[in-house]
Structure 1
Amino acid sequence: MNIIAWVVLGLLAGAIAKAIYPGYQGGGILATILLGIVGAFIGGSLGVLLATGRLALAAPTFSLPGLALAVIGALLAIFIWHSFARRTI
């Protein structure tokens, strides 16, 4: 997948995840894109784990199921981020 597709998938997944997750997350457009890209890797890796039983670093394709995996991964990334941010403050 080329870099433009990664940015678009990251922006979409990050924006959807921020809209779904309750509360204020902060961050601008760059944080949303990075959150979505990290979420794509988390979601893709979880998809590979569920499908094959092996944990491998993977990313979903640019499709509706891939976007759904990226959003799920981005929601997990937000949850993990907030868990660590609450402990340090």
Structure 2
Amino acid sequence: MSGPLEQEMRQLLTAAFAPTSLDVVNDSATHRGHTGDDGSGESHFTILIESPQFAGVSRLQRQRLVNAALGDIPGNRVHAVAIKASAPGE
């Protein structure tokens, strides 16, 4: 079962990119007791997203676009977000 932050991230990314594939993986359990673990169970995530909007866009710019779509979540409400963004066919 996904938590409220995970659901919010899915909604924001779906609205921003109309992805052909989206997986938001909660990695928080593997970071339990480490720096950034706030005990919420929603402190570390990996985002795997595929969208036509990433075609012809550099890896760095893709990261920036995803972070911008997530607003204040990365670095404020979530300690760490790993992003793997691709265009279809990559």
Structures share fold, TM-score greater than 0.5: no
Task: Name the structure where strand makes up a greater proportion of residues.
Answer: 2
- TM-score normalised by L of structure 2: 0.29
- TM-score normalised by L of structure 1: 0.29
